[in-house]
Amino acid sequence: MSQQKPTSHTTSQDQTAFAQKHTIGRRSILSGAAGLGSLSLFSAANATEKAFTQRTNTPSLLDPVSQYPTSPFPQQPQSWPGLQSHMTPRPDCGENSYKGSGRLKGRKALITGGDSGIGRAIAIAYAREGADIAINYLPQEESDAQEVAALIRKAGGKAITIAGDLRHEAFCKKLVATAARELGGLDILVNNAGRQHYCEDILDLTTEQFDWTLKTNIYALFWLVKAAIPHLPKGSSIINTSSRNAYDPSKILVDYAMTKAGIANMTHSLAKQLLPRGIRVNAVAPGPFWTPLQVCGAQPQSVVEHFGAETEYQRPGQPVEIAPLYVTLASSESSYVTGQVWGITGGNGVPG
């Protein structure tokens, strides 16, 4: 990881000279007439020194292009659904960097796919913004999920872990009911879990694979929204995860791209339908982000090796870079935002 080190344009000699100058100034003031003018001069000198200290202690900004790892990445095939803990480099989900400011204090969120990648980054950000969280994941992802739960609790939030397969309507209903009961309510639903598996020829795309993608990406969203609505009070937020493939579909992701376009369309329709209930519905459309999805069949390993190099950044996004948008869309500060699909695609402007 390439990072620029914070720099300072002042030297220790500068700071010493500054301190000596203003120490002398204060002594002169205190030893002279104790009038209002002297007090004003003293206050001005003190304020100037405070500003100087703030300026010299401010860290430098980081170059967004070189801030995170770039290709080539090692080929690293994993079996579905993949574990973040086995990736090289490990995705940055904000474990050591995301700082909250209470934007979601008291909120109660259910996040699907919350064990790794984008879902993990959302869970960490929500917890550090003050929310209690339930995450859903597949049983094979238990180790990653427990890491997230520990991070949520460390941030002071309640963490509920619920393993299960979203391809089954009965489980989706149970998931929402369990989350609402254990959290003491529900006011944020993040539909983030998804299946992506490349197929270079539609003649090789089986009905079983096609059905798997649609059940995970579309049916589950339908079932979860229906189950959640009775629990969601006015002011609640539903956030779906679409993709750049909804607007610029890859030729090897026919079924996946179709579902992501459907999610974008459902977001527009649901936003209109649910606004009278006081529920906002939006979606995020990520471009190439470094997550376990990519190394367990979402892309050929030859693509993984140079993943994200086609963007203006010439690198994939890290999950921590997209989590703040999910925070914004969940926050009541975005009360006039609904029916929107917000793209974070590495500089290509899609969707607009």
Distances (CA, A) of 343 to 283, 286, 293, 346, 350: 9, 6, 19, 9, 6
Side-chain-side CA neighbours of 202 within 13 Å: the count stands at 5
Domain boundaries, the chain: 12-57, 84-344
> Order of strands, edge to edge, in the sheet holding 237-241?
159-163, 132-137, 108-112, 188-191, 237-241, 280-286, 341-344
For residue 224, give both structure tokens. 């979860």
Please name the amino acid found at residue 225: V
- Which residues, given as ranges, of the chain have pLDDT below 70? 1-59, 352
pLDDT at 44: 47
For residue 324, give both structure tokens. 């703040």
Residues known to be catalytic:
256
Nearest-CA neighbor of 171 among 224, 240, 129? 224
For residue 180, give both structure tokens. 């609402």
Place of tokens 């803990």: 85
Which residues, other chains included, contact 247 with Cβ-Cβ below 8 Å and sequence gap of 6+?
A: 261, 264, 285, 343, 350, 351
pLDDT at 80: 85
Distances (CA, A) of 215 to 49, 139, 143: 62, 18, 25
pLDDT at 190: 98
**Cα 323–144–63 angle (5° rounding)?**
35
Would you give the distance in Å from CA 252 to the centre of its chain?
Answer: 26
Distances (CA, A) of 166 to 162, 174, 224: 11, 10, 9
φ, ψ dihedrals at 56, nearest 5°:
-75, -20
Distances (CA, A) of 277 to 132, 231, 274: 23, 12, 5
pLDDT at 27: 41
* Radius of gyration of the chain measured on its C-alpha atoms: 25
User: Are the C-beta atoms of 149 and 159 separated by less than 8 Å?
Assistant: yes
By CB atoms closer than 10 A (0-12, 13-18, 19+), residue 27 is exposed
For residue 121, give both structure tokens. 């980054």
Side-chain-side CA neighbours of 246 within 13 Å: the count stands at 27
Q: If you count them, how many residues does the chain have?
A: 352
pLDDT at 350: 76
pLDDT at 45: 46
pTM assigned to the model: 0.83
pLDDT at 46: 52
Distances (CA, A) of 1 to 5, 65, 182, 240: 12, 11, 39, 30
User: Are the C-beta atoms of 167 and 144 separated by less than 8 Å?
Assistant: no
User: Are the C-beta atoms of 306 and 247 separated by less than 8 Å?
Assistant: no
Question: Which CATH number applies to 84-344?
Answer: 3.40.50.720
Strands 159-163 and 237-241: unpaired
